Amino acid sequence: MYRIAMMVIRLFWKAPYYLFQIWRCGKNDEVSFEKAYACVKKVTIAANKAGRVKIESHGLENIPKENGFIFFPNHQGLYDVLAVLESCPVPFAFVIKKEASNVILLKQVSEALGSLAIDREDIRQSMKVIQEVTKQVKGGKNFLIFAEGTRSKEGNKLQDFKGGSFKSAVKAQCPIVPCALIDAYKPFDQKSIKPVTVKIIYLPPIYYNEYKGMKTVEIAAEVKKRIEEAIPMWL
């Protein structure tokens, strides 16, 4: 958390303004999704610069040209979404676990982008979130879902991907975009403020006609496999 403190200190005079702008995006229905994303992205870039975090992205050409898809990155820590927000040229919302939905700033960013909180202990509520993501993806909105469910505590080593995380993609029949996050655990989980580089690799999308005959657990295993194979290549 040392780096978070450094971000706040270095942005001390601007932080209240940034927080207000993001809060306003979440409360004003007249602010478009694209404008809200641009606002959040601007603040993210400033925060990363203040925190001495460099984002190195590859495979941007693999992001589908047509909206209505879901990113599935590996999950390393609280910093993960910031890496994707700075690097990704297209707007997206995300599914966040209920426990993190009230964390300051994360809460405001979530509301600004129309992201959804999921309670993994409540099956009925989880199904409602899956249905809502399906509906919005069909309508052309992009989402990000962490299929591991919780962050890995072993750095760049992946946990099992949960099949249930892919139900929205299957129901929406949308492209699945595997993303490999590398060293994303370092900015917030290490007790250091030394400059750090986080890499994100956007892998080729998996289209519905490629996975339509597969079970969700099989899709989960395939996405995990592709990310696991990519990480050593980019380390």
3-state secondary structure 104-116: CCHHHHHHHHCCE
Task: List pLDDT tens digits, range 124-170.
Answer: 999 999 999 999 999 999 999 999 988 888 889 999 999 999 999 99
The backbone region for 33, taken as left when phi is positive above 0, alpha when psi lies in -120 to 50, beta otherwise, is alpha
DSSP per residue, 201-220: EEPPPB-HHHHTTS-HHHHH
Nearest residue to 175 (alpha-carbon basis) of 137, 136, 130, 215:
137
Strand partners, 9: none
Residues 70 and 145: their CA atoms lie apart, in Å, by 7
Q: Is 144 helix (H, G, I), strand (E, B) or coil?
A: strand
pLDDT of 96:
86
Residues 4 and 16: their CA atoms lie apart, in Å, by 15
What is the token pair recorded at 3? 């780096």
Nearest residue to 189 (alpha-carbon basis) of 159, 165, 156, 161:
156
Residues 62 and 22: their CA atoms lie apart, in Å, by 29
Element of type H or E holding 94 = strand 93-97
pLDDT of 58:
97
Residues 41 and 149: their CA atoms lie apart, in Å, by 24
3-state secondary structure 138-207: HCCCCEECCCCCCCCCCCCCCCCCCHHHHHHHHHHCCCEEEEEEECCCHHHHCCCCCCEEEEEEECCCEC
**pLDDT tens, N- to C-terminus, the chain (235 residues):** 788 889 989 998 998 899 899 999 999 988 999 999 999 999 999 999 999 999 999 999 999 999 999 999 999 988 999 999 999 999 999 998 887 767 667 788 999 999 999 988 888 999 999 999 999 999 999 999 999 988 888 889 999 999 999 999 999 999 999 999 999 999 988 889 999 999 999 999 999 999 999 999 999 999 999 999 999 999 8
Residues 133 and 130: their CA atoms lie apart, in Å, by 5
pLDDT of 5:
87
